[in-house]
Structure 1
């Protein structure tokens, strides 16, 4: 299901109960969704109001839909439930979003929400770190997954063995924390839950240089400004202490071992979800299968080659438009040029996201004679006379670079090149080429570059 469906249902509930406050609505949604265990009650039942609150959703059809949309679980077949597809192409678990909203609305104007980070994200991270430490899982976080259909999504299947902190839970946790902080600063009497969700999950950016906004497309930027490593470590440890106390569990690990597990886990979380940009996977933009057998790169690489698409000529400011452009480019590269796949390693939209082409592991077809030595990153649009948005430039110059080095895909002293430095072309356009010449690590070609 998608976020629009959920918001429409919330609007119908609000319309049939016009006297309900946003806080009453969100409490009802969480109760129907099963978020009433001792852990959540510990933080959200400081007043008797919540414990006495009765769900205000009498319609059984509404209740069935809400339970399916909000109650999170992963099936034995790897399907993740309690998640929705957002208009920006990402997937979120609704439970932590609603928990953050309730905490924010309950706090009272100007008061810090009690247990906000623990409710939305820290507990999920802590339990996942411990589960990973005690298991043979290959990763402590993730994975992402794929919807069966992005137009009419019904089933979301994970792309690998699930940790206890899937990407959707992490996205929802970040969103819930951001919304909770924001709502705690506002008078709540006139708020509508549907309006809060519409504002945050709206589709597309308003222009090439829209200011940083409280919207889902900027969740990683905004969350990175809200927390730091030490704060997150403290919150995760606190959440585990509360969890053990409420469940009367005894942890055999010493405090030092537990702290090391949490420290390692939080560092990986920061690297993957704060330092790295969000990348829309191939299945989300509707990629065709690779033709033939992919050639694996020998990592780490030493170069990044910057391109512009020229065609499409216009930047794309929404997931729908960027995904359409990606499919068109892949068709052109496969059908007209006879390549195995879209040529670029990654493509940059103006919607706040990067799009996976051949990715970090596979050799691309982007820079003749150099495809084994570097990644090809292309900005959607014609950048002869204008620049990509500032946010898009930062995604590549700062986030992509940091992510590539931290992930072991790029050497620490890698170099930026414009496509024109290696091939007889005007790509990446006059304006964009002038821009990247000022980037740290930009290098004019010389004999050590391996070029003619």
Structure 2
């Protein structure tokens, strides 16, 4: 049980996006005239040390806001790294709420008057106000922005650009009753995590939605963004890219670095000419886009509820040369949500392990029609997808029967335009890789007549 100063004791929350949305709805009921952005700013200010909760929030609501918005990366003795202040969204992704709310209020490019740029000081500075300003948003203290945190990551710029951007993901203790989120590895020096990036991108897109419709309630925006069938949130990377103008991210990183150097003159950041700074920040932005924005999001095994591999997996020796496209046939219907796609993954793994006697689900990756790829055997393990070819290529299967129909264009694009190029950049497949349908190397109707016709027009498709 957690006890906060001047708050009632509070049982740790179920860390789902629905918990956050329910809190928003409560606030909207008591503050019906407030626009969505003001409600977001109220939550931001409620996490400051001098905020008096009785003005706008009950003690229970203030305690809940504290739990949801106090974003920290911690490690208890003998335990893996954990990230607090993150929630499980209905689409299966994990979102840092403080990053989301910061961006809703302040945008993804913070101004140079933000006081706390160092990421080792996590809490916002105390506001002089006890609630939202009479002039909305004029006193809100936002934390570090996306360009700032990327700039700090590349603080030793020339060296850092040679090393892949490290952004750990993680998994929940439960997808039905999530309370603890464990990272897959130690955080970087700036504590960048996938949940932070998800929060920033979601906040930027929600902010755009608020600009288009200023009267829409924030709870309605959250429901429509995360809760649709399919949801909008799985496309956060593509949609955020659509907001960017050419060179905009690099310019913003450069301004953030210059801002940081002015505020912390003894920081040790290298001196560069204007041209050197421009070239370096453009390269940093390109690396971020290639490693993160251009790549499709992948739901990890632990998130969809995979059982352990039976025995010891055989490691692949990459880069590989081939991509083999499949359809599942059964399940025959495309899945449109994280819940349904996860159930399909568990069903396929159970069939492969129990009925066929394989060590694990056979595919390397599986494509849902919800906008996500799902990790099967993944990048590192030899699969059981294309007999006689498992050690030389990855097997990618679309959930559904595609003899007569094909997946929607955004789902095809997820593999054709993002997965394949990302695999090349990441070093998992060669730049001259070949794409083939399962039927071209094994006697089968897979991946279905209609889907096979589609992939026949893909770049690097190889005739039999």
Instruction: Calculate the TM-score normalised by the size of structure 2.
Output: 0.82
Give the alignment partner of residue 222 of structure 2, picking from 197, 203, 227.
197
Give the alignment partner of residue 7 of structure 1, picking from 21, 30, 34.
21
Measured in 2, the distance between the counterparts of 1:401 and 1:260 equals 27
- Assess if the C-alpha contact under 8 Å between 2:318 and 2:429 holds in 1: yes
Measured in 1, the distance between the counterparts of 2:348 and 2:69 equals 37
| SS of residue in 2 equivalent to 1:395 | helix
- Assess if the C-alpha contact under 8 Å between 2:165 and 2:291 holds in 1: no
In angstroms, what is the RMSD of aligned CA positions? 2.8
Change (3 A) 1:439 1:6: same
More displaced, 138-147 or 76-85?
A: 138-147
Measured in 1, the distance between the counterparts of 2:335 and 2:157 equals 39
How far apart are residue 295 of structure 1 and its match? 1.0
**Structure holding more helix per residue:** 1
- Assess if the C-alpha contact under 8 Å between 2:87 and 2:96 holds in 1: yes
Give the alignment partner of residue 100 of structure 1, picking from 100, 103, 116.
103
- Report the equivalent of 1:90: 93
Give the alignment partner of residue 166 of structure 1, picking from 180, 189, 193.
193
Measured in 2, the distance between the counterparts of 1:376 and 1:224 equals 28
- Assess if the C-alpha contact under 8 Å between 1:287 and 1:330 holds in 2: yes
| SS of residue in 2 equivalent to 1:171 | helix
Structure 2 unmatched runs, 5+: 1-14, 108-137
Give the alignment partner of residue 280 of structure 1, picking from 299, 318, 321.
299
Change (3 A) 1:349 1:252: closer
- Assess if the C-alpha contact under 8 Å between 2:210 and 2:216 holds in 1: no
How far apart are residue 32 of structure 1 and its match? 2.2
Measured in 1, the distance between the counterparts of 2:360 and 2:164 equals 28
1:434 aligns with 2:453: yes
- Report the equivalent of 1:255: 272
Measured in 2, the distance between the counterparts of 1:334 and 1:286 equals 14
- Report the equivalent of 1:179: 206
How far apart are residue 429 of structure 1 and its match? 0.8
- Report the equivalent of 1:366: 385
1:221 aligns with 2:235: no
More displaced, 406-415 or 238-247?
A: 238-247
- Report the equivalent of 1:142: 167
Measured in 2, the distance between the counterparts of 1:35 and 1:435 equals 58
How far apart are residue 18 of structure 1 and its match? 2.6
How far apart are residue 128 of structure 1 and its match? 2.7
- Assess if the C-alpha contact under 8 Å between 2:402 and 2:448 holds in 1: yes
| SS of residue in 2 equivalent to 1:329 | helix
- Report the equivalent of 1:241: 258
- Assess if the C-alpha contact under 8 Å between 1:304 and 1:375 holds in 2: yes
Measured in 2, the distance between the counterparts of 1:226 and 1:66 equals 30
- Report the equivalent of 1:39: none
More displaced, 79-88 or 242-251?
A: 242-251
Q: Once the two structures are superposed, what CA deviation does each residue of 1:368-414 show, in whole Å capped at 9, x if it has no partner?
A: 00001111000000001111111111111111110111111111111
Q: Once the two structures are superposed, what CA deviation does each residue of 1:423-443 show, in whole Å capped at 9, x if it has no partner?
A: 111111111111111112111
Aligned residues: 409
- Report the equivalent of 1:385: 404
Give the alignment partner of residue 347 of structure 2, picking from 325, 328, 337.
328
Give the alignment partner of residue 442 of structure 2, picking from 396, 402, 423.
423
- Report the equivalent of 1:27: 41
- Assess if the C-alpha contact under 8 Å between 1:313 and 1:381 holds in 2: yes
Measured in 2, the distance between the counterparts of 1:118 and 1:69 equals 16
Q: Once the two structures are superposed, what CA deviation does each residue of 1:212-232 show, in whole Å capped at 9, x if it has no partner?
A: xxx211101111212256211
Measured in 2, the distance between the counterparts of 1:201 and 1:15 equals 21
| SS of residue in 1 equivalent to 2:220 | helix
| SS of residue in 1 equivalent to 2:91 | coil
Measured in 2, the distance between the counterparts of 1:280 and 1:35 equals 37
Measured in 2, the distance between the counterparts of 1:239 and 1:126 equals 7
Structure 1 unmatched runs, 5+: 37-51, 105-112, 207-214, 446-452
- Assess if the C-alpha contact under 8 Å between 1:100 and 1:119 holds in 2: no
Change (3 A) 1:34 1:414: farther
- Report the equivalent of 1:41: none
How far apart are residue 269 of structure 1 and its match? 1.2
Change (3 A) 1:145 1:413: same
Measured in 1, the distance between the counterparts of 2:146 and 2:324 equals 37
How far apart are residue 55 of structure 1 and its match? 8.2
Measured in 1, the distance between the counterparts of 2:70 and 2:254 equals 25
1:154 aligns with 2:171: no
Q: Once the two structures are superposed, what CA deviation does each residue of 1:263-293 show, in whole Å capped at 9, x if it has no partner?
A: 4432221112221111111111011111111
Measured in 2, the distance between the counterparts of 1:380 and 1:144 equals 24
Change (3 A) 1:2 1:203: farther
